[in-house]
């Protein structure tokens, strides 16, 4: 029935209704539905379709013709009374010639009736007459005159091509056919969703019956489907024939022999009630010995013996073409209990294959790592964008890595930008972006020269300028990292977890944000300032270049101003209410301000010229270059009238200060907030750091407290009134605080449990080391209102490094251990011919356990109404565990479940083709 092939229609569909007069003369017909008054009622059909046996050597035309004697003999053994002869679009004219000259006389002599199947435009049209259906009916009707056992012609996938076959045209075709052979019937393939009452009413005088292919994976809905079809067709006297799938329709409708038997039992019962007029099995396997097994990487599209038999999970975790209303969360699984032998060193590797035809890219590229260089941007040699991770090495002497990589530059200009893999800063692999085709390639690199003897190493994915460029727009992507001999966190880039993003740039580049929140009152003169020290060299000119922007797009002037000052003197300002959120390039000639000086204070600030009640703004600053001087990291200060003032500076140490002579209130705080990306399963989550303060007295306890807070919960604190200024080492176990989380927030802060009138203090945090999670995006927060975030110099520059999270695809293949998802991949991105191998580190989920449940699952992230997809897995390799039947030779050790019969798992079973043949043969006796 359906063949998932993409066919390019090279000629228009031609209906040559040359005998239009005949149409008018013969348009009188019986009141009941039929294409003509002399078309007989065809009942009690015991039929089979296609899967003809072919000759084993080509004839003089170079084609493998149908072996008519062998096919006829096998049909007689099968006890069929009717055979559907397919004129498939991908063959030439040889099958039509074989039908006329060989098959029809042999079938008539054997007492077998024949229906001739034509393929529609959606499948490519049958030869030799293609879309000239007037010629087809002429030739078929003429052939039926010579061989009365030719009862009907059939149009495959008719309801998927209704625009090609309007009812009026079909009536005209049959009228013409009946001028040659008044008894020739027309049947059409009609799928459940389209075989409606409206369809029946429209085509009641054009067709003589529908053939319903039940493509669903089980028989659970079949009885109700037949009843519905009968209710739709019977009022218009349209007969129904059913086509159970005796073999696999191009991977989409894989059923066990026992399921086919159940379907035929239901069909025979419905036939006894008069709701069906017969059965025509889709491709009963006719050559079943020797048994053929389609193994991974089999070069043949189909087994030659027509028994399309796949091993257990080669046809496991599948979904048929005609999926009906599958809900979000629907899934099918196979699972077994594994005995754990090495809890701290376990893994599962497997081959995976996804059949997703072109156009079914549900998740596009899914989640990937991407490093890009913009167009129209000059860049120096040596600059780069990078993703890196420190990995644990388990077997450096036998280590390797496999990954997917691609870039979108298809030009031939070479020698400028390279994709690279580095280990501890040493290039282990590189490839010029020039000359690529934009497709994914799989790369394997031997890492033993770089990892032997090491327990940890830094793995770096990099896009780098080998030479200076003026214009070279390119984006490179990485995905699906498979590590051998070391462990990688988040190898499929499902979020930022585990990876550090960085870009190289000049040392004097810097970017930062200064923000004022909505809903907070300020006074005139309030300011948030980033103060940098300029170290000045002798020069004839001093320049400062920067880019600025803000997110306030309304015209309310006179309040917030972005300003630059040199030693307290205003040299530039911009009102944030200018009404644009675009970047503005600012170039300042500071020659007159810096000449003759060795140092100067340059202040970048947002200043209040008028008090505000509710006027939030976010400002962004990017210092792109300096001429004649360099700028240090600098410090951030906030001034907020009579309220408290917190100061934050960032060097290798986080410093949080409270000044003298400024009152605070209970709950006042200043802190650095960091985002947390938790690495699932990697043991305990710990945080180590050192802390000190400069208050050396034990007097006045209960006011300022140094604290660490996780998602608003204080997990550690120290009163600054501890009487010492020495560094204190702190070790925190955050396993319970981060349990079940993928993201969190950690804040290093100083908090006032009571208000102070005069209590200056400086608190330093340094040597912050996270284990089992990563810290990123430090942002200063204070109750004074001003917030400051330091976008480190490494995050500026022309390169953009990102992990692109497009969300899950429509269908996922997942591995679960004890109910936890440990690996997940969009089905549309699994390799399809050849198979791809994946390896999953399961040790985080087997630690401390003697047994675990291992499960493979096909999972739907959203509802679908119709889709074709198959996922196949095979050839498991297990370390640290014992499992049965790793190549799925049968069902031993595995159990299957499904939430929706449309996604039930499939299993061919031993000698499935023989069993199907025997079942059909017995039921047709």
Average pLDDT over residues 696-711: 89
Is 775 within 8 Å of 679 (Cβ atoms)?
no
Nearest by Cα to 549 from 619, 622, 603: 619
Is there a domain that residue 509 lies in?
A: no
* The dihedral formed by the CA atoms of 697, 699, 702 and 706, expressed in degrees to the nearest 10: 0
What pLDDT shows up at residue 580? Answer: 62
Is 383 within 8 Å of 461 (Cβ atoms)?
no
Instruction: Summarize pLDDT for 269-303 with one digit per residue, the tens.
Output: 999 999 999 999 998 888 754 333 333 333 333 33
What pLDDT shows up at residue 788? Answer: 47
Task: Give the CATH number for residue 131.
Answer: 3.20.20.80
Instruction: Summarize pLDDT for 322-333 with one digit per residue, the tens.
Output: 345 577 888 888
Distance between CA 602 and CA 571 in Å, rounded? 10
Owning domain of residue 245: 20-282
One domain for residues 726 and 625: no
56-70, 501-515, 654-668: which is most confident: 56-70
**Of the candidates 587, 616, 643, which is a domain's last residue?**
643
Q: Which residues pair with 111 in a beta bridge?
A: none
Burial tier of 872 (Cβ tally within 10 Å: 0-12, 13-18, 19+): buried
The answer to whether the predicted template modeling score (pTM) of the entire model surpasses 0.75 is no
Instruction: Summarize pLDDT for 548-570 with one digit per residue, the tens.
Output: 878 776 778 888 899 999 999 99
Total tally of structural domains belonging to the chain: 5
What pLDDT shows up at residue 10? Answer: 35
One domain for residues 622 and 657: no
H or E element that contains 385: strand 384-393
**Of the candidates 232, 265, 282, which is a domain's last residue?**
282
Instruction: Summarize pLDDT for 860-888 with one digit per residue, the tens.
Output: 877 766 555 667 777 889 999 999 988 77
Q: Which residues contact 2 (CB under 8 A, 6 or more apart)?
A: 123, 157, 213, 215, 249, 250, 252, 321
Which CA distances in Å does 610 have to 493, 578, 726? Answer: 47, 16, 44
Is there a domain that residue 595 lies in?
A: yes
Task: Give the CATH number for residue 467.
Answer: 2.60.120
Residue with token string 């499960």: 855
One domain for residues 601 and 692: no
Instruction: Summarize pLDDT for 60-113 with one digit per residue, the tens.
Output: 999 999 999 999 999 999 999 999 999 988 788 999 999 999 999 999 999 999
Task: Give the CATH number for residue 624.
Answer: 2.60.120.260
What pLDDT shows up at residue 911? Answer: 60
Nearest by Cα to 779 from 670, 623, 667, 679: 670
One domain for residues 693 and 823: no
Is there a domain that residue 487 lies in?
A: yes
Distance between CA 828 and CA 813 in Å, rounded? 10
Is 391 within 8 Å of 397 (Cβ atoms)?
no
One domain for residues 414 and 451: yes
Distance between CA 217 and CA 524 in Å, rounded? 73
Of 125-134, 537-546, 805-814, least confident by mean pLDDT is 805-814
pLDDT at 854 exceeding the cut of 60: yes
What pLDDT shows up at residue 151? Answer: 97
What pLDDT shows up at residue 563? Answer: 94
One domain for residues 876 and 833: yes
pLDDT at 366 exceeding the cut of 80: no
pLDDT at 608 exceeding the cut of 60: yes
Is there a domain that residue 13 lies in?
A: no
Is there a domain that residue 739 lies in?
A: yes
Is there a domain that residue 920 lies in?
A: no
Of 55-59, 457-461, 910-914, least confident by mean pLDDT is 910-914
One domain for residues 352 and 265: no
State the greatest distance between any 2 C-alpha atoms of the chain, in Å, as a whole number.
116
168-177, 507-516, 685-694, 819-828: which is most confident: 168-177
pLDDT at 221 exceeding the cut of 60: yes
One domain for residues 328 and 373: no
Average pLDDT over residues 585-590: 91
What pLDDT shows up at residue 384? Answer: 85
Of 377-381, 540-544, 760-764, least confident by mean pLDDT is 377-381
One domain for residues 541 and 486: no
DSSP secondary structure, 67-107, as one string: -HHHHHHHHHHHT-SEEEEEE-TTS-SHHHHHIIIIIHHHH
Per-residue tokens: 213: 């292919």
One domain for residues 771 and 815: no
pLDDT at 686 exceeding the cut of 50: yes
What pLDDT shows up at residue 67? Answer: 95
Instruction: Summarize pLDDT for 425-461 with one digit per residue, the tens.
Output: 899 999 999 987 778 888 999 999 999 999 999 999 9
Beta strand 240-244 with 761-771 is unpaired
pLDDT at 486 exceeding the cut of 90: yes
Q: Which residues contact 383 (CB under 8 A, 6 or more apart)?
A: 464, 465, 503, 504, 505, 797, 798, 799
Is there a domain that residue 243 lies in?
A: yes
Is there a domain that residue 801 lies in?
A: no
Beta strand 240-244 with 210-214 is parallel
Where are any strands of DSSP class E within 551-598? 560-566, 569-575, 584-589
Of 533-547, 633-647, 829-843, least confident by mean pLDDT is 633-647
One domain for residues 86 and 181: yes
Calculate the average pLDDT of the chain. Answer: 79
**Of the candidates 260, 282, 304, which is a domain's last residue?**
282
Q: Which residues contact 350 (CB under 8 A, 6 or more apart)?
A: 837, 838, 873, 874, 875, 876, 877
One domain for residues 406 and 429: yes
């Amino acid at each position: 029935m359906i063949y998932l092939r993409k066919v390019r229609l090279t000629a228009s569909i031609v209906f040559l209704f040359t005998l239009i007069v005949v149409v008018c003369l013969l348009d009188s017909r019986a009141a009941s539905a039929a294409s003509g008054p002399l078309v007989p009622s065809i009942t009690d059909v015991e039929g089979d379709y296609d899967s003809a046996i072919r000759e084993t050597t080509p004839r003089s035309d170079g084609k493998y013709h149908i072996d008519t004697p062998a096919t006829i003999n096998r049909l007689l053994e099968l006890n069929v009374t009717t055979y559907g002869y397919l004129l498939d679009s991908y063959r030439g004219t040889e099958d039509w010639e074989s039908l006329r000259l060989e098959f029809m006389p042999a079938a008539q002599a054997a007492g077998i009736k024949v229906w001739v199947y034509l393929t529609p435009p959606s499948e490519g049209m049958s030869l030799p007459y293609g879309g000239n259906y007037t010629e087809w009916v002429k030739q078929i009707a003429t052939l039926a005159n010579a061989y009365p056992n030719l009862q009907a012609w059939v149009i495959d996938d008719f309801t998927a091509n209704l625009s090609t076959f309007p009812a009026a045209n079909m009536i005209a075709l049959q009228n013409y056919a009946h001028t040659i052979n008044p008894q020739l019937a027309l049947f059409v393939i009609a799928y459940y969703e389209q075989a409606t009452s409206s369809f029946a009413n429209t085509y009641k005088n054009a067709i003589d019956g529908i053939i319903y292919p039940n493509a669903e994976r089980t028989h659970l809905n079949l009885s109700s489907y037949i009843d519905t079809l009968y209710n739709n067709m019977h009022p218009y006297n349209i007969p129904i024939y059913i086509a159970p799938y005796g073999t696999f329709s191009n991977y989409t409708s894989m059923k066990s022999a026992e399921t086919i038997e159940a379907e035929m039992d239901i069909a025979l019962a419905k036939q006894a009630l008069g709701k069906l007029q017969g059965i025509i099995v889709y491709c009963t396997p006719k050559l079943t010995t020797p048994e053929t097994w389609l193994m991974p990487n089999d070069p043949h599209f189909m087994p030659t013996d027509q028994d399309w038999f796949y091993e257990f999970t080669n046809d496991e975790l599948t979904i048929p073409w005609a999926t009906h209303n599958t809900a979000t969360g629907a899934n099918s699984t196979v699972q077994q209990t594994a005995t754990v032998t090495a809890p701290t060193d376990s893994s599962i590797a497997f081959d995976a294959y996804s059949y997703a035809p072109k156009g079914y890219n549900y998740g596009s590229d899914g989640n990937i790592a991407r490093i890009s260089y913009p167009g129209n941007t000059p860049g120096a040699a040596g600059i780069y964008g990078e993703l890196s991770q420190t990995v644990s090495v388990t077997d450096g002497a036998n280590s390797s890595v496999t990954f997917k990589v691609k870039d979108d530059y298809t030009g031939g200009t070479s020698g400028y930008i390279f994709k690279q893999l580095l280990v501890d800063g040493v290039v282990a692999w590189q490839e010029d972006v020039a000359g690529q085709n934009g497709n994914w390639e799989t790369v394997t690199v031997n890492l033993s020269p770089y990892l032997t003897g090491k327990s940890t190493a830094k793995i770096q994915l990099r896009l780098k300028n080998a030479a200076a460029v003026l214009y070279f727009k390119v984006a490179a992507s990485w995905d699906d990292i498979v590590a051998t001999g070391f462990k990688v966190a988040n190898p499929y880039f499902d979020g930022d977890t585990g990876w550090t993003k960085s870009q190289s740039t000049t040392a004097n580049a810097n970017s930062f944000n200064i923000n004022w929140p909505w809903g907070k009152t300020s006074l005139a003169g309030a300011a948030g300032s980033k103060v940098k020290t300029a170290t000045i060299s002798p020069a004839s000119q001093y320049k400062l270049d920067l880019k600025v922007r803000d997110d306030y797009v309304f015209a309310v002037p006179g309040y917030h101003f972005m300003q630059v000052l040199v030693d307290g003197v205003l040299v530039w300002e911009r009102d944030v209410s200018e009404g644009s959120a675009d970047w503005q390039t600012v170039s300042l000639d500071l020659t007159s301000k810096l000449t003759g000086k060795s140092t100067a204070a340059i202040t970048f600030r947002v200043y209040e010229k008028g008090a505000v009640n509710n006027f939030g703004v976010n400002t962004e600053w990017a210092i792109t270059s300096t001429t004649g001087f360099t700028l240090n990291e600098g410090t951030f200060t906030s001034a907020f009238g009579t309220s408290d003032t917190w100061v934050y500076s960032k060097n290798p140490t986080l410093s949080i200060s409270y000044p003298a002579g400024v009152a605070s209130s209970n709950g006042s705080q200043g802190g650095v907030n960091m985002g947390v990306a938790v690495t699932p399963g990697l043991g305990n989550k710990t945080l180590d750091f050192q802390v000190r303060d400069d208050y050396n007295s034990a007097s006045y306890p209960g006011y300022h407290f140094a604290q660490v807070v996780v998602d608003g919960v204080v997990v550690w604190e120290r009163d600054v009134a501890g009487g010492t200024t020495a560094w204190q080492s702190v070790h925190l176990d955050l396993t319970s605080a981060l349990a079940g989380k993928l993201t969190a927030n950690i804040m290093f802060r100083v908090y006032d449990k009571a208000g102070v009138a005069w209590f200056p203090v400086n608190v330093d945090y340094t040597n912050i080391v996270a284990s089992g999670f990563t810290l990123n995006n430090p942002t200063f927060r204070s109750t004074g209102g001003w917030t400051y975030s330091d976008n480190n110099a490494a995050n500026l520059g022309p390169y953009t490094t990102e992990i692109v999270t497009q969300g899950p695809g429509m269908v996922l293949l997942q591995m679960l251990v004890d109910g936890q998802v440990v690996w997940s991949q969009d089905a549309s991105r699994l390799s399809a011919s050849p198979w791809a191998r994946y390896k999953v580190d399961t040790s985080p989920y087997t630690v401390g356990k003697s047994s675990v449940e291992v499960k493979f699952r096909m999972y739907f992230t959203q509802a679908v109404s119709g889709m074709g997809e198959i996922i196949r897995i095979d050839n498991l390799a297990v370390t640290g565990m014992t499992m049965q039947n790793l190549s799925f030779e049968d069902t031993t050790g595995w159990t299957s479940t499904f939430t929706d019969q449309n996604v039930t798992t499939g299993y061919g079973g031993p000698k499935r083709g023989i069993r199907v043949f025997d079942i059909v043969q017995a039921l047709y006796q």
